[in-house]
Structure 1
């Protein structure tokens, strides 16, 4: 089937090609009736603007890129859904780029290879340093997500991971748990995400007057449910005991649940645990997961706000925004009972 052209839409709608172009580019001076007429012809013909042609005509392609390590990780899949929907509401299409968490993959994201293809990039790095990101910066506007430090020249959106981890730990303390472990951080090459969550966990224990027991830190060979299940299972098999677990993410919590249940421990009776990310399956595990839930919509909207400002010409110092989170309490670590008044 021949590609539908701009002039085909103009012919069907009975308008000029300029009018069709104005509707496609969402120019505000087009009347509602004319916009509806042209949009009907676009829908009927299935017209899709050519990105490179649009770049030549307007200086923009209407495409944005979202880049992160692994689309199979549930949190990233949900983040992609939220960012895509928010970008669509603003008139953009979103391209996903998976870096596999490799330095080469991340360097490709911030290299000049994106120039001319997309108007801007939202990027959650896993291994690139702030210094290297600053060195590779080019003419493609860039906004960073995640827990790693950002260059002074680049915009950044995140949640306060240390504070959230401290809140999860304090929640377990309020349930009367005193031997609280941390599970799921990397065995080697600890990420900024794990470092901040471990720091929040440690600080909460210290505020409660509890010294950190290094034997209760259970690293995982891989950031996965299997890796966490292996780590918790090996610890239990060695005789280590704990009554609470702060898990790096929901996958680590799911793996921990499996290891505990296979060995006859009850959750939350013997061990209360918390996850992180509030992935869709978190409310369907047995027991359901208490978990840190970031405001991903606010994260997406803040990132897109700053990216659009950069696309529009803003060239000021990088901005740093922190969005909110909540600790969603479910069965794996239910809300602490209120004291009875006497």
Structure 2
């Protein structure tokens, strides 16, 4: 397998499918269990990944520095503190907006907008203002993420660069996929999410892989597959899963494991690793371990195929 950092976009044309949660947890797994250096680029104007990481960081600081406070108080103070931190980053221009705000990426962009979360995880904060860059003529912006990565040698500094994409096709998703070698599709098991997968595949073909200028670059974009999340094991879901496999299996890999729906999970913890020894969440932990095994296997197989070409 190549030592060069792998750029992977997490994308679906429908929101609410667990995209950000999967991105963050794959980053955490690779950083802590595989000892890899990870960069998350938050390109979703809703910046949920950024909010979650800043909140987690502030909660950690408070739990270490403040004694005898109940969880609600720590949560409230962490939210206030993380919101202030984000406001400061945005005001000082230290977000992903800077990538698209400029027509040329410089080396200074790296120190401006890459924020350290932990020893092995860094991230480029998202920004509500990213929604403004999708208007007007955006043709010149397609290569900006790729340019940002190259000029700052990020593939040499990070083992994986994970891009959390918005749930719509725009210059943000176009630029992310142009810079990517792989993409992963998080999805719920419902018909609307399946429509989102169809829409995504059509857009990728129309706007990217079948584009003559893209083809001239000799780039290749590999689909790692579909990961179903928030599953409930209902019979209707099982039938839909069978339909999806029948429709896509020869074209798109469908992960065997799924992320089960656990109502308390979204508010109780950010990383699945926080509850891996908790029997209440054993189903979640075990499923995610299987997903990660399959995720790494998919990349390894693609890399070996490329090496043998």
TM-score (norm 2): 0.34
TM-score (norm 1): 0.31
Which structure has the highest helix share of the two?
2
Which fold has the larger relative contact order, with Cα–Cα distance below 8 Å and residues 6 or more apart in sequence?
Answer: 2
Q: Which has the larger radius of gyration?
A: 1
